[in-house]
Chain A
């Protein structure tokens, strides 16, 4: 091999692994310190743990009331995602298939939501009036509402790739519009629905602002709020804080490993598709 080219290849690999290292270092740091004793972790140093303290996780789950927080996060992520994806698919399907003036306007109105910021101050007012403030059902509805615009945007572009003949055939065979949607169209939309679903679950799992405004009862808190609160209470007890952070990010990392394909395709189509 040409020596100049091989030097260049080595430099490139060094640069890339340097970048990978910088990306990974903080994540390593929190995993390492989660397994140290409270004294060893006090300076949050990069040294690996001497003997892994698996008991930290038990302590943190107990003291941080994490079982409740974890199941809240899971409930909010899954419930709001199912609701958002289903409603967005229904909407995107008719809006993309039947492009009347009215449908164009509805579509534009919906995807404006990608840019429109939520007014949390008046949202609390709306939630009070509807008696949904500080309730689980309330925050699920709000999360679904905030995910809908992006889901409609992604699914709308995908509907065009499903042949119209399929709907027509279903209608000729006597399907009602709703039956045609559920038995014929929805299965065809699976790839984009999975993409939307994975992205929504991650978004909701990571979200912090909405519960900060809407949830005051600590039994309703999701992981993000709970870990922040724990951080405030146990300031400088980095072993416990790290263990709590690990439990918050572990599901995200697992989803990333399992569903990387869907996450990446969502990132591309969201950004690169028109």
Chain B
């Protein structure tokens, strides 16, 4: 930024009468440079709403985490770390929810990135004429409301009449038919699968933009040097795509850690606690009136996300990420 012009436009000097030379007719915006043309209050509305409905609840939450705030009593008592002890006691519902959320996050990041990358390469270099149509189709699920997707997949994954199992039986793979949403060891993976189906197009579209930004010359030079397709991918595409992959990973991460809708509709955390996630656990504790515990878990989550936020800022502000 040009510091000297900033200083010249500073507000501290106000135009006085003596600055007007006698006889000169003042032009409309004569002293524009002496007033602050970019007043901070312009940001006031955004700050007020954001402060009141995003920051304030989180900060208030820090305090309420240490109380026995609940639906059953109107007065509050300081209970120290009791809520956190409830959350982190061994084999608690909450530890399970945290573990599930981590599994969900890692699995969806890997699945979405790998599938999206394969599709992005296919659509940018393998398919010519219909590329736009394919892209539009594969991206569509990403825009749909999660609740609607969940309801439709609830029918698709139905063990008896669902489309998935009946298709498997039709092609003679009936042995692979499963109780997708009610089998304790399978339910979380079914949720991961549905979430990947929905989210992969979004990541693919971003990666396609990244791939198209890589200059064609690099590939031609590599071809002249006798590089195979795989080598070109490994030594040109992947390194040059790294900043974009960092961004998609962050986007996947921020989304996956807060996963709620899809689990709520498909399994509501069940069977048992097999698909319980952090947001589901918070909602359940809230519904049961255990507001102190719910807030404490939100606070733990808030602190984790703040820490991740700093990582996000670093990734998003890196200069080489700008390539549109």
Which residue from chain B places its CB closest to the CB of A181 in the assembled complex? B42
Determine if B1 and A20 form an interchain contact, defined as CB atoms under 8 angstroms apart: no
Question: Mask for A207-237, Cβ within 8 A of B = 1, else 0?
Answer: 0110011000000000110011001000000
Q: Which of A84-123 contact B (CB under 8 A)?
A: 84, 86-88, 90-91, 93-95, 97-100, 102-103, 106, 108-123
Smallest Cβ distance from B45 to chain A, in angstroms? 4
B25 contacts the other chain (Cβ, under 8 Å)? no
Contact present for B151 and A148 (CB under 8 Å)? no
**Could you say which of A20, A119, A245, A273 contacts B134, with CB atoms under 8 Å apart?**
A20
Q: Which residue of B lies closest to A99 (CB)?
A: B1
The verdict on A53 contacting chain B, using a C-beta distance below 8 Å, is: no
- In the bound complex, residues from chain A placing their C-beta under 8 Å from that of B299 are 119
* A258 close to B (CB within 8 Å): no
- Determine how close the nearest CB of chain B comes to the CB of A267; give it in whole angstroms: 5
Q: For B144, list chain A residues within 8 Å (CB).
A: 27, 206, 249, 252-253
Contact call A23/B122, Cβ cutoff below 8 A = no
Interface centre among A19, A86, A103, A171 (most CB of B within 10 A): A19
Contacting pair B57 A126 (CB below 8 A): yes
Q: Report the minimal beta-carbon distance from A164 to chain B, rounded to whole angstroms.
A: 9
- Are B254 and A115 closer than 8 Å at their CB atoms? yes
* Assembly CA distance A167 to B137 (angstroms): 42
Q: B12 at interface (Cβ–Cβ under 8 A)?
A: no
Candidate in A25, A102, A123 with the most chain B CB atoms within 10 angstroms: A123
Name the prevailing secondary structure of the A interface residues.
helix
Q: What is the CA–CA distance of A83 and B54 in the complex, to the nearest angstrom?
A: 16
Q: Does residue A192 face the partner (Cβ distance < 8 Å to B)?
A: no
B50 interfacial contact with A, CB 8 Å: yes
| Residue among A26, A45, A88, A175 facing the most chain B CB atoms (10 A cut-off) | A26
Within 8 A of B (CB), among A237-270: 238, 241-242, 245, 248-249, 252-253, 256, 260, 263-264, 267-269
- Give per-residue flags for A115-137: 1 if the beta carbon is below 8 A from chain B beta carbons, else 0: 11111111111100010000000
- Chain B residues near A27: list those with CB within 8 A: 140-141, 144, 152
Shortest CB-to-CB span from A250 to chain B, Å, is 10
For window 120-172 of B, CB contacts with A under 8 Å fall at 122-123, 126-128, 130-131, 133-134, 136-138, 140-141, 143-149, 151-156, 158, 161-163, 166
Decide if B298 touches A117 in the complex (CB within 8 Å). yes
For the complex, is B324 an interface residue (Cβ under 8 Å from A)?
A: yes
Which residues of A lie under 8 Å from residue B87 when comparing CB positions? Answer: none
Number of A-B residue pairs, CB cutoff 8 Å, is 319
Of B89-97, B178-186, B199-207, B217-225, which binds chain A?
A: B199-207
| CB <8 Å contact, A24 and B54 | no
Complex: chain A residue closest to B5, CB-CB: A164
Contact status B145-A249, CB under 8 Å: yes
Which residues from chain B contact A38 at a C-beta distance below 8 Å? none
B295 at the interface (CB under 8 A from A): yes
What is the distance, in angstroms, from A153's C-beta to the closest C-beta of chain B?
8
Q: B residues bordering A, Cβ < 8 Å?
A: 1, 6, 9, 27-29, 32-33, 36-40, 42-43, 45-47, 49-50, 52-58, 60-61, 64, 119, 122-123, 126-128, 130-131, 133-134, 136-138, 140-141, 143-149, 151-156, 158, 161-163, 166, 197, 201-202, 205-206, 209-210, 213, 244, 247-248, 251, 254, 257-258, 260-261, 264-265, 279, 282-283, 286, 291, 294-295, 298-299, 301-302, 305-306, 308-309, 312-313, 316-319, 321-324
Partner-B contacts on A (CB < 8 A): 8-9, 12-13, 15-17, 19-20, 22-27, 29-30, 42-46, 83-84, 86-88, 90-91, 93-95, 97-100, 102-103, 106, 108-126, 130, 141-142, 144-146, 148-149, 152, 167-168, 171-175, 177, 180-181, 202, 205-206, 208-209, 212-213, 223-224, 227-228, 231, 238, 241-242, 245, 248-249, 252-253, 256, 260, 263-264, 267-269, 271-274
Jot down 17 A-B pairs with beta carbons below 8 A, ordered by A.
A9-B127, A19-B122, A26-B156, A44-B161, A90-B45, A91-B45, A98-B9, A125-B64, A145-B50, A173-B29, A206-B146, A228-B147, A260-B136, A267-B202, A272-B244, A272-B322, A273-B322
